[in-house]
Amino acid sequence: MGKRSRLRAALRDYDLYLLLLPGLAALLIFKYVPMFGAIIAFKDYRLGEGIWGSPWVGLQNFEALLHDDKFYQVLRNTVLINLYKLIFQFPLPIMLALMISEVRNVAFKRAAQTITYLPHFLSWVIISTIFVNLLSPQTGILKDLFHLLGMQDTMMIADERFFRSVLVMSAAWKETGWSSIIYLSAILSIDTQQYEAARMDGAGRFRQIWHVTLPGIRSVIFFVVILRVGSALGNDVEQVLMFYNPLVANVGEVIGTFVYRMGLGNLQYSYTTAIGLFQSVVGMGLIFTANYFSKKYGERSLW
Amino acid sequence: MRLRTKGEVVYEVCVYTGLVLGILVCLIPVLNIVAKSLSGESYVVAGDVGIWPVHFTTDAYNIVLGSPKFLSSFRNSVLITVVGTLINVTLTVFTGYALSRSRLAGQKLIMMLFVFTMLFQAGIMPTYLVIKNLGLINSLWSLMLPGLVSPFNMIIVRLYFYNIPDSLEESGKMDGASNIRILFSIMMPMAAPVIATTALFCAVEYWNSYFDALMYISDAKRLPLQVFLREVIMSVSDASNNIEMMAQTQVAQESIRGAVVVAATLPIVLVYPFLQRFFVKGIVLGAVKG
């Protein structure tokens, strides 16, 4: 195709570009302009002088970061919380999907799906209220259990020992059902002949899961793990904000909440932007690394 | 006939027990908070309320629903959700369709621009500064516009259009229809399930979002429901603060919290069953093909 005819083709499709325009404009304004604005991480941003007028300070903000004990604490909290979520929360949707896929009774199956997906649609404001209510040692529905364990005076949410567990539990409660959908659809796309072959070889139902189902959904599991590793420094800010209280500051403050408090509360624009950049760059690095290893060990790449 | 070995039976028992357990874990905390919102004060405080109301009363609801701040924040949230979802879905469909036509010059590059924002974000503060410089602080637009267009939703919609056979587009072209015309009268009806799914995701996100409002809105008249809820929940925990709320009647704090939870969740629970069949189909299609 010559240059001229390509131009003509583009002109004929001018209305496709019209369709594209508003979405692209929004993307540029709300995603790419802020990326450019992130140069204030290398400046001493002052409200009155704006992005252009504020003086350059080079890597000063990043140096401050490396010498900030508070930052290390926040970083450690963030990584630990995500690690606990990876270990304890991640297997649950796989188990749920395995169970749902085995149910033959359509009505029961539908009920199980409807009910377990529902918490995904509740906001963190609501879920934190539900958990505060649930975990109340005096009036909660689990109070007898707390008494049995000798924990009648323990407010788990306001206790450093339990705060992270509460985060993992509430995240699991919210997302287990919803996250199982992707595994469920992978399980349904496994060729049924494989199960028949396994049965012929005398494999029971448990062995079929081990030898057919799990290998069949391996690539989806890897996919989810890569994404999780990539968000090791990201947190559900809304979740932590809702459960956060001063009593658990040492274990509960994460990067997102720290940036919010220091940035909007203390007006440390440049410093918190530097933290945000650090978070984004490391996150991207982690995704590429995880993807590299996944590819190296014979799995599909993300892209 | 299926053979019933001992292993089979153990297996079935495991599956059904596991699922029943899962259902109870999801359901009981919700039922408990609903029951508390409808129960008499002394029973709630004593911790005697299980999953069924004791000494039925709607006092907590009278207090919450009667608060003028509840009504205004509810209205704000409805507005944000309806208008935001309309704009968001429209732009998602437009962008997704344009980018699903592989003949479009620059299509690959623009796709990369969208995907890159999934990997790398500018961060909280630079985004805040953009909103501020656009003069959107304390405007409801600050809660609707920044999420445009979700790359994730756009990619799902794009894939759906991409998989619609070319012959349909060509038949439209034969009739002399423009691209926009083809999108509206041929493609969009075919993509109804995926568009409905996207709309549901968007709506839930707008309805539930809290952090954006925390960042961008300080004017009490413009606060959305979730922020109001949070205020109520925090203020009833603090005895000195709740005079306005609790002066008239004897209502347990937990009942008020429960009533707030129910009032905010009811709209979602009401639309949920209607859309459930739709969105499970939609997302499964997306997941398998993607």
Say which range, A13-22, A120-129, B201-210, B230-239, has the weakest mean pLDDT. B230-239
Q: Which pLDDT score, from 0 to 100, does residue B288 have?
A: 41
Q: Tell me if chain B has a CB within 8 Å of the CB of A269.
A: yes
Residue A63 has pLDDT above 80, yes or no: yes
A-to-B residue pairs, Cβ atoms closer than 8 angstroms? 266
Nearest to B64 by CA among B219, B226, B262, B221: B262
Q: Which pLDDT score, from 0 to 100, does residue B44 have?
A: 81
What's the rounded Cα separation, in Å, for the pair A270 and B95?
34
For residue A116, the chain B residues in CB contact (below 8 A) are 22-23, 26
- Per DSSP, B187 falls in state I
Residue B114 has pLDDT above 50, yes or no: yes
Residue A86 has pLDDT above 80, yes or no: yes
Q: Which pLDDT score, from 0 to 100, does residue A31 have?
A: 93
The CB-side HSE value for B238 (13 A sphere, CA atoms) comes to 9
3-state SS class at B122: coil
- Please state the separation of Cα A194 from the chain's center in Å: 34
For residue A276, the chain B residues in CB contact (below 8 A) are 121-126
What's the rounded Cα separation, in Å, for the pair B282 and B198?
9
Residue B290 has pLDDT above 80, yes or no: no
Kindly identify which residue of chain A lies nearest to residue B50, measuring between CA atoms.
Answer: A141
User: What's phi and psi for A202, nearest 5 deg?
Assistant: 85, 20
Q: In this predicted complex, what is the ipTM?
A: 0.86
Q: Quick count: other Cβ atoms within 10 Å of Cβ A177?
A: 26
Chain B closest-CA separation from residue A199 CA (Å):
11
- At A144, which amino acid appears? D
In angstroms and rounded to an integer, the radius of gyration of the C-alpha atoms of chain B is 24
3-state SS class at A43: strand
Nearest to A127 by CA among B225, B249, B29, B164: B29
Q: Can you state the angle between helices B6-37 and A124-134, rounded to 10 degrees?
A: 100
Q: Which pLDDT score, from 0 to 100, does residue A249 have?
A: 87
Residue A4 has pLDDT above 80, yes or no: no
CB-CB under 8 Å, B207 with A99: no
Confidence class for position A255, pLDDT limits 50, 70, 90: very high
Exposure string over A233-248, b if 16+ CB within 10 A, otherwise e: bbbbbbbbbbbbeeeb
The position carrying tokens 């960042």 is B215
Query: Using H for helix, E for strand and C for coil, what is the string for A224-279?
Result: HHHHHHHCCCCCCHHHHHHHCCHHHHHHHCCHHHHHHHHHHHCCCHHHHHHHHHHH
Q: Residues 28 to 67 of A: which have CB under 8 A from any B CB?
A: 29-35, 37-38, 40, 51
CB-CB under 8 Å, B99 with A118: no
Say which range, A4-18, A107-121, A197-211, B30-44, has the weakest mean pLDDT. A4-18
Identify the burial level of A83 via C-beta atoms within 10 angstroms of its C-beta, where 0-12 means exposed, 13-18 middle and 19 or more buried. Answer: middle
What's the rounded Cα separation, in Å, for the pair B123 and A38?
8
pLDDT digits (tens, 9 = 90+) for B154-180: 998 999 899 888 888 888 888 888 888
For residue A105, the chain B residues in CB contact (below 8 A) are none
Residue B246 has pLDDT above 60, yes or no: no
What's the rounded Cα separation, in Å, for the pair A113 and A105?
12
pLDDT digits (tens, 9 = 90+) for B204-229: 899 999 999 999 999 989 999 999 88
The CB-side HSE value for A205 (13 A sphere, CA atoms) comes to 18
Confidence class for position B236, pLDDT limits 50, 70, 90: low
For residue A242, the chain B residues in CB contact (below 8 A) are 210, 230
What's the rounded Cα separation, in Å, for the pair A100 and A97?
5
Exposure string over A145-159, b if 16+ CB within 10 A, otherwise e: ebeeeebeeeebbbb
- Name the most confidently modeled range: A142-156, B168-182, B239-253: B168-182
Structure tokens at A37: 């604005």
Residue A152 has pLDDT above 90, yes or no: no
What's the rounded Cα separation, in Å, for the pair B25 and B147?
33
For chain B, the residue count is: 290
Mutation choice for B interface testing from A47, A106, A139 by most B CBs within 10 A: A139
Nearest to A173 by CA among A235, A232, A96, A230: A96
What's the rounded Cα separation, in Å, for the pair A259 and A71?
10
Q: Which pLDDT score, from 0 to 100, does residue B287 have?
A: 44
> If you average pLDDT over every residue of chain A, what do you get?
87
Q: Can you state the angle between helices B107-119 and A14-27, rounded to 10 degrees?
A: 20
Confidence class for position A21, pLDDT limits 50, 70, 90: very high
CB-CB under 8 Å, A259 with B125: yes
Say which range, A158-167, A206-215, B57-66, has the weakest mean pLDDT. B57-66
Confidence class for position B248, pLDDT limits 50, 70, 90: very low
Q: Which pLDDT score, from 0 to 100, does residue B286 have?
A: 46
What's the rounded Cα separation, in Å, for the pair B230 and B211?
11
Nearest to B91 among A26, A38, A40 (CB): A26
CB-CB under 8 Å, A182 with B125: no
Kindly identify which residue of chain A lies nearest to residue B147, measuring between CA atoms.
Answer: A30
Q: Which pLDDT score, from 0 to 100, does residue B247 have?
A: 47
Asked whether the bond before B149 is cis by omega within 30 degrees of 0, the reply is yes
Exposure string over B111-150, b if 16+ CB within 10 A, otherwise e: eebbebbeebbbbbbbbbbbbeebebeebbbbbbbbbbbb
Residue B268 has pLDDT above 60, yes or no: yes
What's the rounded Cα separation, in Å, for the pair A276 and A212?
43
Confidence class for position A3, pLDDT limits 50, 70, 90: low
The position carrying tokens 């002052």 is A46
Q: Are residues A234 and A286 in contact, defined by beta-carbon separation less than 8 angstroms?
A: no
What's the rounded Cα separation, in Å, for the pair A168 and A84?
7
Q: Residues 79 to 138 of A: which have CB under 8 A from any B CB?
A: 95-96, 99-100, 102-103, 108, 111-119, 121-126, 129-134, 136, 138
pLDDT digits (tens, 9 = 90+) for B35-81: 888 888 878 877 778 888 888 888 888 888 888 888 899 999 999 99
